[in-house]
């Protein structure tokens, strides 16, 4: 058995894959790795310490903020600010983008956008949750404070993206535009080790992931696709199956490994969609495309959407190529009047 490579060793080996970098990726991802370890430690204490439940405060989206949301947000911000590669962050938990004003951050080239703890309401019931992150090269002048334009870049400008899933094991999965690689945390060593090299998603799958409790509010094309999955039996006699965890990272991770599609369409209550373009959809779209899949909003490629606001929401159809193409055919065949 060959010796396992750590995340740090792997990044150094692949340093040439990161545009414009001369050691920055290693340092930047080391910040994310450190924060992930700290958050992982607290998640594993859930139920033993007062870290579960709500804070009593709503975030910018009007959603009740969980204690671990705030904790994870603070830890990732602190870890990123402690390095000199990041000049600012935008977070699902912050009203506005946060500029780092320390002397060492002034000449930083990168900004980070993140969902510090996706699916945090699942903590109370011991279900997998995750962290999603996205890295961009700033467009404003180095040496000046970051501007909103640094954060409102389309997903096709990402230089790296990834997620950490805190589940039966803790994994960090990332891409720099040269494939997708996954690292599993070994708590006995305190190290992330390469466990899933060059991850690819099957072109076809049997899993569809959607909150069917909202069925009556879905567009007609989505309803027709769900019926197709329920009634159609492929030639290999393996029927489709519905799997929905309610944590984007967990659903995405399963479908990436096994093949499938995740759908979060617009609904009557969320006519523009519910998931956040910058913190959830763009980084997952970058990952899925690098793994051989597709991500769209039902009309266009997710990563080609030009953001107009930090907390912009969009529909999301993401996963195995043939499954996404099939749902597109239903959406085109059964267009709803706006």
Residue 240 assigned to a binding site: no
CB 195 within 8 A of CB 171: yes
Bridge-partner residues for 172, per DSSP? Answer: 164, 183
Query: Dihedral (C-alpha) 227, 231, 234, 238: value to the nearest 10 degrees?
Result: 110
State yes or no: 244 annotated in a binding site. Answer: yes
Residue corresponding to tokens 């992150």: 133
Residue 55 burial (CB count, 10 A): 14
User: Would you say 29 is a known binding-site residue?
Assistant: no
Contact criterion met (CB below 8 Å) for 138 and 150:
yes
115 is in an annotated binding site: yes
Residue 233 structure tokens: 């039996």
For residues 336 and 338, what is the distance between their CA atoms, to the nearest angstrom? 6
- 118 marked as part of a ligand binding site: yes
Asked whether the beta carbons of 50 and 60 are under 8 A apart, the reply is: no
Burial of residue 188, with CB atoms counted within 10 A of its CB: 0-12 exposed, 13-18 middle, 19 or more buried: exposed
Element spanning 8, H or E: helix 7-13
What is the gyration radius of the CA atoms in the chain, in angstroms? 20
113 is in an annotated binding site: no
**C-alpha to C-alpha distance for 198 and 292, rounded to whole angstroms:** 11
Q: How crowded is the C-beta side of 207, counted as CA atoms within 13 Å?
A: 20
Q: Which residues contact 332 (CB under 8 A, 6 or more apart)?
A: 221
> C-alpha dihedral over 279, 284, 287, 288, to 10 degrees?
-160
HSE (CB half, 13 Å, CA atoms) of 266?
16
Whether 264 contacts 316, CB under 8 Å: yes
Residue 225 marked ligand-binding: no
Asked whether 162 and 181 are in contact (CB, 8 A), the reply is no
Where is the binding site for substrate, in residues?
A: 211, 244, 262-264, 274
Where is the binding site for Mg(2+), in residues?
A: 92, 115, 117-118, 280
Where is the binding site, in residues?
A: 92, 115, 117-118, 211, 244, 262-264, 274, 280
């Amino acid at each position: 058995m060959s010796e396992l490579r750590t995340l740090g060793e792997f990044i150094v080996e692949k340093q040439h894959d990161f545009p414009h970098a001369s050691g920055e990726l290693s340092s930047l991802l080391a910040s994310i790795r450190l924060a992930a370890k700290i958050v992982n430690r607290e998640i594993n204490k859930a139920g033993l310490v007062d870290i579960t439940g709500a804070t009593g405060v709503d975030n910018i989206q009007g959603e009740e903020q969980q204690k671990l949301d705030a904790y994870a947000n603070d830890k990732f911000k602190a870890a990123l600010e402690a390095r000199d590669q990041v000049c600012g962050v935008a977070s699902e938990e912050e009203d506005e983008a946060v500029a780092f004003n320390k002397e060492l951050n002034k000449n930083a080239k990168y900004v980070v956008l993140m969902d510090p703890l996706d699916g945090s309401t699942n903590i109370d019931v011991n279900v997998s949750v995750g962290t999603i992150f996205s890295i961009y090269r700033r467009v404003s002048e180095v040496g000046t404070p970051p501007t909103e334009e640094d954060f409102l870049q389309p997903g096709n400008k990402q230089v790296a993206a990834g997620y950490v899933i805190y589940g039966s094991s803790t994994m960090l999965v990332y891409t720099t535009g040269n494939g997708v690689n996954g690292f599993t945390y070994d708590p006995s060593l305190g190290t992330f080790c390469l466990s899933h090299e060059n991850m690819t998603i099957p072109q076809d799958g049997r899993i569809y992931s959607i909150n069917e409790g909202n069925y009556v509010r879905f567009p007609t094309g989505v309803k027709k696709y769900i019926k197709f999955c329920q009634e159609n039996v492929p030639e290999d006699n393996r029927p489709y199956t519905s799997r929905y965890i309610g944590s984007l990272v967990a659903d995405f991770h399963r479908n990436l490994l096994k093949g499938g599609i995740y759908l979060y369409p617009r609904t009557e209550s969320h006519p523009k969609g519910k998931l956040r373009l910058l913190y959830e959809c763009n980084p997952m779209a970058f990952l899925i495309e690098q793994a051989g899949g597709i991500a769209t909003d039902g009309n266009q490629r997710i990563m080609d959407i030009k953001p107009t606001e930090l907390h912009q929401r969009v529909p999301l159809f993401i996963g195995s190529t043939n499954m996404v193409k099939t749902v597109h055919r239903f959406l085109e065949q059964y267009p709803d009047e706006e």
